[in-house]
Amino acid sequence: MLNSGISVLFEGVNLERLLLGLLVTLRVALIAVVISIVMGILIGIIRTSKSKLVQILFKLYLELFRIIPILVWLFVIYYVIPANFDLNLSAEVVALIVFSLWGAAEMSDIVRGAIISLPKHQTESSKALGLSVSQMYRYVLIPQATKRCIPPMINLITRMIKTTALLTMIGVVEVIKVGQQIIEVNNLEHPTISFWIYGFVFFLYFVICFPLSRFSRKLERKWAT
């Protein structure tokens, strides 16, 4: 009885389809991560500026993504933009936009935190040595800040991968959606199928996220001073 469900997993192309679905999930996550790291570093450096206006503007941007759930952002972009601006966005593009904006906001906070947590004398001594601003960042601040950034950044990447599960709610055909399709086809013949499929997807997410979070903890311990 219980076994009939698990056998479907390995029947025909089911497993292959699930893994292809997982690729869609990971593709969105990967592109969004790359965009948000690049944007996050830029915004993070901008946010260390002394200008109050810059600080408030970017703080507002960060808080908007912190306070409003990502699922709501996905819905807002997915439904509001096509309806009001005559612009057709596929669900995957919407997901990329939301995840990049959110990721960039969170990354910028990590980068900014790392830079301002560096002791003040680092900046002062590099100025005393006559380094230009770009040299100061290039040779003094960024190398030191990188070590403090990487563990929280990996944590954020794990969070972003986990959050991609929400893509199924705006109709991206990723791993969960494929799982649901397989369930719908086989549900009558194999009633336990949903237990196994959802269990398997659960396992897939775990297999991806667990090594990442282990890795970040290891780095954190290694670089702790």
Binding site residues, other proteins, CB under 8 A: 2, 5, 66-72, 75-76, 79-80, 83-84, 158, 162-166, 168-169, 176, 183, 191-199, 201-202, 205-206, 209-210, 213
- Intra-chain end-to-end CA distance of the chain, in Å: 55
Task: Return left, alpha or beta for 171; rule: phi > 0 is left, psi -120 to 50 is alpha, else beta.
Answer: left
For residue 189, the tally of other CB atoms under 10 A from its CB is 10
Judged by beta carbon, residue 69 or residue 143, the one nearer other proteins is 69
Q: What is the CA radius of gyration of the chain?
A: 22
* Closest distance of CB 179 from other proteins, Å: 9
How far is 120 from 63, CA to CA, in rounded Å?
Answer: 27
Judged by beta carbon, residue 139 or residue 223, the one nearer other proteins is 223
**Considering only CA atoms, which of 72, 68, 58 is closest in space to residue 104?**
58
Judged by beta carbon, residue 140 or residue 176, the one nearer other proteins is 176
* Closest distance of CB 35 from other proteins, Å: 21
* Closest distance of CB 71 from other proteins, Å: 4
* Closest distance of CB 173 from other proteins, Å: 15
Judged by beta carbon, residue 143 or residue 191, the one nearer other proteins is 191
How far is 146 from 189, CA to CA, in rounded Å?
Answer: 54
